Structure 1
Amino acid sequence: MSKYRDDLPQLKGGTYLTDGGMETTLIFHEGADLPHFAAFVLLAEPAGRKQLKDYYTRYLDIAAKGGTGFVLDTATWRTNPDWGAKLGYSAEALKAVNEDAVELLSELRAAYERPGAPIVISGAIGPRGDGYKAGNMDAAEAEAYHAAQIETFAGTEADMVTAFTLTSIDEAIGIARAAKRLNMPCAISFTVETDGNLVTGLTLRQAIEAVDAATGSYPHYYMINCAHPSHFDQVVTGDAAWLKRIGGIRANASKMSHQQLDESETLDAGDPADLGRRYLKLTRHMPQLRILGGCCGTDHRHVAAICEACVPATRLSA
């Protein structure tokens, strides 16, 4: 079963890389057909499984070279009932996909993990709806909705779950409560707009403090993803308690807004070296940042630049 569920190594310090923008890389760089932005469909065929393995391997090689740990997130951001129904997947089929996604990462961990550089497997959870729009579930509904996926991960070798691109505080509360009930460590990752606030207008501080208040501070840490550092660097200054709860960043390559990205027919890959420098600046005033990776538009080049910029000062202890 799980290797690190009872003792997550990234909570003890050091730097842990993770991957970049899986879906944008697979679609724009590799020509994959991902209906509804669902990478999990690749698990259905041997060629797709190999494509996913090759994708992860590029990042694992970067971590191995840098001597860092790694957080492997499953390709299951869209593996929930609403998106599954649009793709013709039953509840039983979705359960099998979530299990298969973890199995793929277990194989990679067995091949790549080395002493002093743990590889943590995280079951990726996405929002019920669109990651760029506000959700409309209350916390109780969100808990019931996401519990099935979390329960499936709890029966696998997954060490934790991470909910990405959340825009709704209630949905975040529901996911955290479901994870707590099922004894699964969890991280909550919010998406912010160009002003550093959630799409609802609420601040990141309000979101983190509300989830902590409603769940007994159950999330093991929070993250920010699907936004460029220039969109939120002005709101993560200071030393307030809520800021210290942010343990990871998975930023976009592009400075464009979510609306601009949605309307763009080409991929804006930004400047990997500049992104690395921005991450270094973030880690200098947020030393609690442990998990560093990318989101939309980023690929192995961006994560390599982040590693080169940040790891020498924060190398994982052997």
Structure 2
Amino acid sequence: MNFTDTLKNSPAILTEAAIAERLRRRDDVALDPVLFNTPLIYDEHGRGCLEEIYGQYLGIAQRARLPMLICAPTWRVDRSRITLARQKTSINRDAVSFMRGLQKSWQNTDSQVFVGGLVGPANDCYSPSEALSAEDSEKYHAWQIGELAEAGVDVVVAQTFPAISEALGVIRACASAGVICIMSFVINRDGKVLDGTSIAEAIAMVDAETDKYPVGYMVNCVYPTFISAETQSKSLFERLVGIQANASSLNHAELDGSIDLRQDKLEDWGDFMVSLNRQYGVKILGGCCGTDDRYLEYVAQRLV
């Protein structure tokens, strides 16, 4: 099955927990100041470190016999940052090729593996005032989305968007490139996108403007309870298909730039995640800041 069919028919799909943050805390890895972990694909040791972490996540999905979405490390690898970092213009395509190699190594009939391509906001993901307009966003993100589409990703995952305006431009660029997409917003603990729009209203507005082009929506870099699922309408969960959740229930201002690893009780985090799947049908489950393979393993074991 392709990714859209799998999303429709599978009760649950795993996606990765933290990648870049785990690498940042290692003594044997130096992240690029502009492109973070992406250039590691060109370094033998760096590739090995990436393979180790992705391999942990893929192994969890395989043992649980669940589909897995792994994303190429291309978050905010847009043309301007590539130039600033003096990297190859092919770096997005090369990152997808690296992930395809992992996919080929791990693909099996019990746990189908899909490769996504990450896209991030042009500016600070926690500052909606810095978000691009829809028109500027479409122009800004079109080149990278075109690269990911040419590389043949199964889905573009637009991650940590703080405002509707920039999200609209990304989705329109995906439509122009002919690649399916998931839009993932950052929300506060009151269930609102950082631009002040409720998550339900934001999804409805974007759907209306794009003829429901995204195959679904997610939230990420948030604690599971931030969705306030028990107060939401059932219609929200017809379109909210996933979450990549922080290990900590602290808000973004408290977590951003934190030197210490902030984690709430793993069991609480995992139980909240499983509840989102079982009670509300949120299918794509993964981790964000503070998480690792233990978090994904806890969720996977309880899903099966």
Alignment partner for residue 296 of structure 1, among 265, 285, 289? 289
Which has the larger displacement, 29-38 or 294-303? Answer: 29-38
For structure 1, list consecutive stretches of 5 or more residues without a partner in the other structure: 313-318
1:55 matched to 2:50? The reply is: no
Alpha-carbon spacing, 1:236–1:145, altered in 2? closer, same or farther (3 Å) = farther
**Alpha-carbon deviations, 1:164-186, whole Å to 9, x = none?**
00011011111111111111010
Report if aligned partners of 2:79, 2:144 keep a CA contact under 8 Å in 1. no
Deviation of the 1:37 alpha carbon = 6.6
For structure 2, list consecutive stretches of 5 or more residues without a partner in the other structure: none
CA-atom RMSD in angstroms: 1.9
Alpha-carbon spacing, 1:116–1:10, altered in 2? closer, same or farther (3 Å) = farther
**Alpha-carbon deviations, 1:19-46, whole Å to 9, x = none?**
1111111112565322247211212211
**Alpha-carbon deviations, 1:231-263, whole Å to 9, x = none?**
223576331x23310111101001111111124
- Partner in structure 1 of residue 23 of structure 2: 26
**Alpha-carbon deviations, 1:179-215, whole Å to 9, x = none?**
1111101000001122221222111112111110110
Alpha-carbon spacing, 1:235–1:222, altered in 2? closer, same or farther (3 Å) = farther
Report if aligned partners of 1:15, 1:292 keep a CA contact under 8 Å in 2. yes
- Partner in structure 2 of residue 203 of structure 1: 198
Letter in 1 for 2:167: A
Alignment partner for residue 301 of structure 2, among 267, 287, 308? 308
Alpha-carbon spacing, 1:84–1:130, altered in 2? closer, same or farther (3 Å) = farther
- Quote the Cα distance in structure 2 between the aligned partners of 1:111 and 1:59: 14
Q: Secondary structure at the match of 2:228?
A: helix
Deviation of the 1:152 alpha carbon = 0.8
1:74 matched to 2:72? The reply is: yes
**Alpha-carbon deviations, 1:275-304, whole Å to 9, x = none?**
1101122122212x2211001111111111
Alpha-carbon spacing, 1:245–1:71, altered in 2? closer, same or farther (3 Å) = same
1:140 matched to 2:138? The reply is: no
Letter in 1 for 2:293: H
Alpha-carbon spacing, 1:117–1:85, altered in 2? closer, same or farther (3 Å) = same
Which has the larger displacement, 132-141 or 205-214? Answer: 132-141
1:16 matched to 2:13? The reply is: yes
Matches within 5 A, 1:1-318: 4=2, 7-29=4-26, 32-34=29-31, 35-36=33-34, 38-89=36-87, 93-94=88-89, 96-134=90-128, 135-234=130-229, 237-239=232-234, 241-287=235-281, 289-309=282-302, 311-312=303-304
How many pairs were matched up? Answer: 302
Moved over 6 A (4+): none
Report if aligned partners of 2:229, 2:276 keep a CA contact under 8 Å in 1. no
Alpha-carbon spacing, 1:13–1:148, altered in 2? closer, same or farther (3 Å) = same
Report if aligned partners of 2:12, 2:277 keep a CA contact under 8 Å in 1. no
Report if aligned partners of 2:160, 2:221 keep a CA contact under 8 Å in 1. yes
Report if aligned partners of 1:196, 1:235 keep a CA contact under 8 Å in 2. no
**Alpha-carbon deviations, 1:59-118, whole Å to 9, x = none?**
0110111110100111111211344344334xxx24x11111111111111111111421
- Quote the Cα distance in structure 1 between the aligned partners of 2:45 and 2:237: 42
Q: RCO higher in 1 or 2 (8 Å CA, sep ≥ 6)?
A: 1
Report if aligned partners of 2:125, 2:162 keep a CA contact under 8 Å in 1. yes
- Partner in structure 2 of residue 316 of structure 1: none
Q: Secondary structure at the match of 1:26?
A: helix
Q: Percent identity?
A: 30
Given the two structures, how large is their TM-score scaled by the length of structure 1? 0.89
Report if aligned partners of 1:237, 1:285 keep a CA contact under 8 Å in 2. no
